[in-house]
Amino acid sequence: MFRLITGIPGASGFGSASTAENVTEGIDATNLTAIITGGASGIGLETARVLAKRNAHVIIAARNMEAANAAKQSILEDYSKAKVTTLKLDLASLNSVEAFSRDFATLNLPLNILINNAGIMFCPFQLSEDGIEMQFATNHLGHFYLTNLLLDKMKETAKSTGIEGRIVNLSSVAHLLTYPDGVAFEQINDKKKYDDKKAYGQSKLANILHANELSRRLESERVNITVNSVHPGLIMTNLFRYSGILIKMLKLATHILWKNVPQGAATTCYVALHPGLKGVSGNYYVDCNEFKSSSLARDEALAKVLWDFSCNLLKKAGKA
């Protein structure tokens, strides 16, 4: 907490006051291709801007193409040499995830970095078009499926180029606030037992569990791809659209703990690009430093159950 408030750097040399530009200073991402989900606004846009400024070819994956194209234009205005492509992606729709994967394949690009950034928070109970609770569907399952579909391309890229691939899952400190068993597998779609805050925490816990299990699997295959998860910090973005008044009151009372958008994108950019994390996988980062996640997030058995559960959901939706 002291470091969070003061901004004093941790072991990495960076801290809560560091910005995305700070942590990537001097890094040349030329010849790297990065997909960023939710890259049209908030910390996703800042992540896209900074990676493009470091010369990566950035693919902004977004549900709202008008916003995505506006984001692309803003990046080009900031850095005229930026390489930015926009593609439609609605993570709440498995069909859309599949279509995005096909659209990306037609670009015939390598894939070095996948940043699973997009998400929704605290929304009223609703089901996705695939019949899955919306926060779990969008924050976890959509990214789980997307990662599965893109993994062969990432493996191929890492092998042919010799450059380490990196997958970054955006989680949250909210993973601490979830259902008693972590993931309520038998109650995912139970409206009567739905709690918007715990459902969000559940989806963020799932992001860490997914990253950890995928990291273990890739390590066992000796694949040159790392997988880590991050907590970006408290940032006022569109993510709070379902709880505006409550969050504004909270921010007023805890203003010293909040970050601006450039600071909020720092940990993502650090984990995605910094050479100091070469070969480092299966970790959770806060303020650009490794941090101990909850015991549930570190539960290997739970991660394996979640993996199988997610695969079964895809199978039921005809996407196995």
Indicate which residues carry an active-site annotation: 194
Burial, 83: exposed, middle or buried (Cβ in 10 Å; 0-12, 13-18, 19+)? middle
DSSP state of 254: S
- Please write down the long-range contacts of 178-185, taking CB distance under 8 Å and 24 or more positions apart: 178/202, 178/204, 178/205, 178/296, 182/209, 182/296, 182/299, 182/302, 183/209, 183/302, 183/305, 183/306, 183/309, 185/305, 185/309
* CB crowding 216-244: b at 16 or more within 10 Å, else e: bebeeeebbbbbbbbbbbbbbbebbeebe
Residues with Cβ within 8 Å of 151's Cβ and at least 6 positions away in sequence, in order, are: none
Within 176-316, residue ranges assigned H as helices are: 196-220, 244-253, 261-264, 266-273, 300-316
DSSP state of 260: -
Rounded to whole angstroms, what are the CA distances from 99 to 12, 71, 88, 146, 202? 39, 21, 9, 10, 27
